[in-house]
Chains A and B, each alone.
Chain A
């Protein structure tokens, strides 16, 4: 089944403790993105990647890092999480063809206390 897989689904952590949210897609997609979803704000792009080793900032990149060492994986790294990063996170991917729609993962709900 074609899908984007995120792990973990739920995570509670403490301020300052480094964490990584993994994202993997099995569709050989070139483009991958991370979004955060907050009430009343919709989805905002954090980082995106156009292919292996090619990444760029989205609208809200502060406090986050990403890497794209393999085409299928696009992990989101929070080096020193803070409470304002408590949110629902989504990874998404799409291919380089004329189908411009993104496939989203099921989300990771992160709570930073």
Chain B
């Protein structure tokens, strides 16, 4: 089955700096890679995702890059703000006719300091 590794487990940045979280996956058939943000006491919320036919996707201050050959993908947050503080999870999935099971990484606690 799929295995997703995520690093770092904790990340502390100054407000305004950039933050990068990296994930690797094992199943070369995986073709969908979402990122979720989990705030304290809440469920994970999808913030951005990328399909395997795209190398990069950007949405305002958030971008995701995918390297299929190396089987790794990364989340980039620019101009970080205190409200970006949360736990971030990457996931990998193979989209099939039966749906797509998400295999999650172990999470990164991001802290944005003033």
Residues of chain B with a CB closer than 8 A to A59's CB:
1
Beta-carbon contact of A104 and B44 below 8 Å:
yes
> Of B14-22, B70-78, B98-106, which binds chain A?
B98-106
Residues of chain B with a CB closer than 8 A to A30's CB:
99
Residue in contact with A90 in the complex, picked from B44, B46, B93, B101, CB distance below 8 Å = B44
> Of A12-20, A44-52, A65-73, A74-82, which binds chain B?
A44-52
Contact code string A95-113 (vs B, CB < 8 Å = 1, else 0): 0000011111111000000
Residue in contact with B89 in the complex, picked from A40, A43, A101, CB distance below 8 Å = A43
Q: In the complex, A110→B34 CA distance in Å?
A: 27
Beta-carbon contact of A42 and B89 below 8 Å:
yes
Nearest opposing residue in chain A for B47, CB measure: A101
Residues of chain B with a CB closer than 8 A to A40's CB:
106
Residues of chain B with a CB closer than 8 A to A50's CB:
98-99
Could you tell me the distance in whole angstroms from the C-beta of A51 to the nearest C-beta in chain B? 9
Q: B42 at the A/B interface (Cβ < 8 Å)? A: yes
Beta-carbon contact of B43 and A45 below 8 Å:
no
Beta-carbon contact of B95 and A100 below 8 Å:
yes
Nearest opposing residue in chain A for B4, CB measure: A42
Beta-carbon contact of B46 and A43 below 8 Å:
no
Beta-carbon contact of B98 and A42 below 8 Å:
no
Could you tell me the distance in whole angstroms from the C-beta of B10 to the nearest C-beta in chain A? 12
Could you tell me the distance in whole angstroms from the C-beta of B23 to the nearest C-beta in chain A? 11
Beta-carbon contact of B98 and A43 below 8 Å:
no
Beta-carbon contact of A102 and B102 below 8 Å:
yes
Beta-carbon contact of A42 and B105 below 8 Å:
yes
Q: A43-B104, A101-B46, A105-B43 are in contact. List 10 more A-B contacts (CB 8 A).
A: A31-B99, A41-B106, A42-B104, A44-B104, A45-B101, A50-B99, A100-B49, A101-B49, A104-B45, A106-B41
Task: List the interface of chain A (C-beta within 8 A of B).
Answer: 4, 30-31, 33, 35, 40-45, 48, 50, 58-59, 90, 92, 94, 100-107
Task: List the interface of chain B (C-beta within 8 A of A).
Answer: 1, 4, 6, 32, 34, 36, 41-46, 49, 89, 93, 95, 98-107
- Top 3 nearest A-B pairs (CB, nearest first) are A104-B43, A101-B46, A42-B104
